[in-house]
Amino acid sequence: MTIIADRSISTSGGVPFAQTVRFKFATIACGLGPAEYVVVDTASNVFSTSGRSRQFETPIEDLISLKTDVGDSVVINRVARVAEKVYAIGSDRRLYRREGIDNWVDLHTEGRGAPTPADYTTSPTDWGRVLGFKDLSAFSDTDFYAAGGEGDLWRFDGKTWYQCPLSTKAQLETVCCAGDGKVYVTDLHGNVWAGREETWAQVAASELSWGSQPVDAFWFKGRMLFGAQEGLYVISGDKELVPLGTIEDGVPSSMVTGRIDISPDGKHLLTAGPYGACLYDGEKWTRLFSAFDFR
């Protein structure tokens, strides 16, 4: 067993695992360039694993500055795979591209960062609430969409950022560049907008309570799926966001569904809840495990 301060990496029955008390509100993404899994928490702590190595890394804030021009610290809201790369998605419209172990690049240092308001350094505004980002998705490495804050939705064409005219000031939670050519955006209550570039329309209404809103959104097998604490959701024919289990038989409960990720080849959906996880191929649900199996 290798001990790193209060963090450890070990094996149990030949299965590698890592244990730490430092990570809080962490998310995970699978990158393809290079191929690896990367975990980052809201305090920028990092753990990575691949076929060659696994390690706790230097926190992002110890490698590059996470201070904004108004002196606030950027909060890393999640990590995501976008155009094969892993990005750390931060408050105040900050994005950090991963290039390898202990190597993160602030898009601002490349002159490719999202702009801030003209009164960013002079206004007493709570910019951490007003500005994005919370999620990031892309059709390609020259067609990004990033969302968060109070209706703060942006498109990046690889050189220039364009603010999208979304007709809401609600707190945005997720964004997904979907297989039907549209971009889907959700807010804090599960309302959904769809569009692209300058054209947007609300396509689903919802009144989910705080804490139950979608936290993941992915296109899978020809439709949008949304993951939340209460399980999986879809857009109904009545343009409402409804639990998947209300319109389809055999959907596992929210005990083993909720968070979502899609395999890089697009063939499988992995979803996990507070007590287990399931795999879905578009036709069959396979329960991988449930905590209730071990009672």
| Structural domain range at position 173 | 2-217
The answer as to whether 262 is a domain residue is no
Distance of alpha carbon 75 from alpha carbon 134, whole angstroms: 10
The answer as to whether 264 is a domain residue is no
Distance of alpha carbon 103 from alpha carbon 121, whole angstroms: 29
pLDDT of residue 47 exceeding 70, the answer is yes
Domain total in the chain: 1
Give the tokens for residue 242: 């409804």
Between 173 and 20, the higher pLDDT residue: 173
The answer as to whether 275 is a domain residue is no
pLDDT of residue 4 exceeding 70, the answer is no
Q: What integer pLDDT is reported at residue 6 of this predicted model?
A: 46
The answer as to whether 66 is a domain residue is yes
Say which CATH number the domain at 187 has.
Answer: 2.130.10.10
Q: What are the backbone angles phi and psi of residue 86, rounded to the nearest 5°?
A: -95, 130
Using CB atoms within 10 A of its CB, is residue 119 exposed (0-12), middle (13-18) or buried (19+)? exposed
pLDDT of residue 2 exceeding 50, the answer is no
Cα 102 to the center of its chain, rounded Å: 21
Query: What pTM does this model have?
Result: 0.92
Non-local CB neighbours of 19 within 8 Å, separated by 6+ positions: 7, 8, 9, 10
pLDDT tens readout for residues 51-63: 888 999 999 999 9
pLDDT of residue 3 exceeding 60, the answer is no
Q: Which residue has the tokens 């606030």?
A: 72
The answer as to whether 92 is a domain residue is yes
The answer as to whether 192 is a domain residue is yes
pLDDT of residue 10 exceeding 60, the answer is no
Largest CA distance in the chain: 58
Q: What integer pLDDT is reported at residue 9 of this predicted model?
A: 60
3-class secondary structure for the chain? CEEECCEEEEEECCEEEEECCCCCCCEEEEEECCEEEEEECCCCCEEEECCCCEEEECCHHHHCCCECCCCCECCEEEEEEECCEEEEEECCCEEEEEEECCEEEEHHHHCCCCCCCCCCCCCCCCHHHHCCCCEEEEEECCEEEEEECECEEEEECCCCEEECCCCCCCEEEEEEECCCCCEEEEECCCCEEEEECCEEEEEEECCCCCCCCCCEEEEECCEEEEEECCEEEEECCCCEEEEHHHCCCCCCCCCCCCEEEECCCCCCEEEEECCEEEEECCCCEEEEEEHHHHC
The answer as to whether 61 is a domain residue is yes
Distance of alpha carbon 261 from alpha carbon 270, whole angstroms: 5
pLDDT of residue 277 exceeding 70, the answer is yes
Mean pLDDT value of segment 185-202? 97
Q: Are strands 285-290 and 276-280 parallel, antiparallel or unpaired?
A: antiparallel
The answer as to whether 230 is a domain residue is no
Between 9 and 95, the higher pLDDT residue: 95
Distance of alpha carbon 71 from alpha carbon 233, whole angstroms: 39
Using a CB cutoff of 8 Å and minimum separation of 24, what contacts does 264-272 make? 264/30, 264/32, 264/81, 266/220, 269/218, 269/220, 269/225, 271/227, 271/232
Using a CB cutoff of 8 Å and minimum separation of 24, what contacts does 8-11 make? 9/54, 9/55, 9/56
Lowest mean pLDDT among 11-20, 156-165, 225-234, 275-284: 11-20
